[in-house]
Amino acid sequence: MRRLLFCTLFALVALSGLTGVFAANDFIATVDVDSAFARALPAFDAEETASLFKKERLEAVSRNLDGTWFEMRRPGRMNSLGWVFGEVLDWDFQPELLPLGDLTTGVVGPSPLTYTPEYAVFMNESPTLRTQPLRNSSRVPGVTIPFSVTLPVLARNQDGSWLYVNYLGYQGWVVAFAGRELPDVLDIPQAVNLPPLENVPTEIIPVEIQQAQVDRLRAFIHERRAYAAQLESFWWRVYRGEVMPCDPPPELTDYPYTENDVRELPELQRYAPRLGTAVDYMRTSQGLLTECGVVSPEDVVTARDSAINARIIFDATLETLQALEEDVIHRGR
């Protein structure tokens, strides 16, 4: 259940390479579950430090190593309540603008951070962590970076198309377009001993063809996004005790595309796997509809959360498509 929120900082701060005064309500979140705990560290087994309740407003003051936990306080207060898991909150701010408040909790890799990097990037999709800033370089073994995490950025390559990041103690390179755009990317220190930039052959595709590909993809997403929202509402009503009809669910298919489609819209290579993950979530969500009857609250929660995860992926992809139209297609007209 990852949504987004607002925020509050009253002082002049340098965050993610940006310095400025943030207005009140910049980093405000609300509790999105009936009850939750703040903890002494960003970990589920850490000591409980405060009880939180639904609709309670909180202010984020820092993030953990992967941006999935936030150090919170009550708005206008100076003392911290502790760390709260992001998925129990309703929030809509950019976590990469928060300072890094914990360098050690959750580290599993061989290269823990020894200082607080000035920059961070929010991942819109799940990137591959590579040993070099090259598409054909080897993967860092044993590492899978999920989307919607925030990674400390240590360095960049020559043109900022690759970022050297640390994910829970694993360091390597991720392609920059997998993350939210960093307007100041060239202010990040450049790494040393870099390989030459890749010379990628380009083909000019007519704007009309690219637009047609985007329109087809958007129609596919809108249809499934609407169904994901219906499933989310359906399972929420079941969880609240309503008796709902158990209709046969529709068959869900992955987005159909060919090598020629990728040639006309290369971004499909990134979008299609992400959409496949969303469709898998939807299959999980509608799975209970194939076995009508009494279902357990745990299964209902899983079905609802799966629908929410699918909807979030669809929404993020629609935002990416909008940016693609504005930055690439419309600019080429």
Indicate the SS3 state at residue 21.
Answer: strand
Asked, for residue 258, whether it belongs to a domain, the answer is: yes
For the segment 206-237, what is each residue's pLDDT rounded down to a tens digit? 888 989 999 999 999 999 999 999 999 999 99
295-324, pLDDT tens digit by residue?
Answer: 888 899 999 999 999 999 999 899 888 888
Residue with tokens 């360098």: 103
Amino acid identity, position 14: A
Q: Would you state the structure tokens that stand for residue 25, as one six-digit string?
A: 């309500």
Count structural domains, the chain.
Answer: 3
Angle, CA 330 vertex, CA 326 and CA 332 arms, to 5°: 125
Residue 123 sits in the same domain as residue 221: no
CATH code of 86's domain = 2.30.30.40
Whether 314 is covered by a domain: the verdict is yes
Structural domain boundaries, residue 175: 119-187
Closest CA to 320 of 153, 134, 178: 178
144 and 221 in a single domain? The answer is: no
What's the rounded Cα separation, in Å, for the pair 172 and 163?
8
Indicate whether 31 and 82 sit together in one domain.
yes
Query: What percentage of the chain reaches a pLDDT higher than 90?
Result: 63
Do 211 and 326 lie in one domain? The reply is: yes
DSSP reduced 3-state for 27: strand
Q: At residue 180, does pLDDT exceed 50?
A: yes
Whether residue 7 is contained in a domain is answered as no
- What's the token pair of residue 148? 């919607």
In order of 204, 213, 262, 269, the CA distances from 207 in angstroms are: 9, 10, 14, 18
Please tell me the pTM assigned to this model: 0.63
Query: What's the whole-number mean pLDDT along residues 106-131?
Result: 94
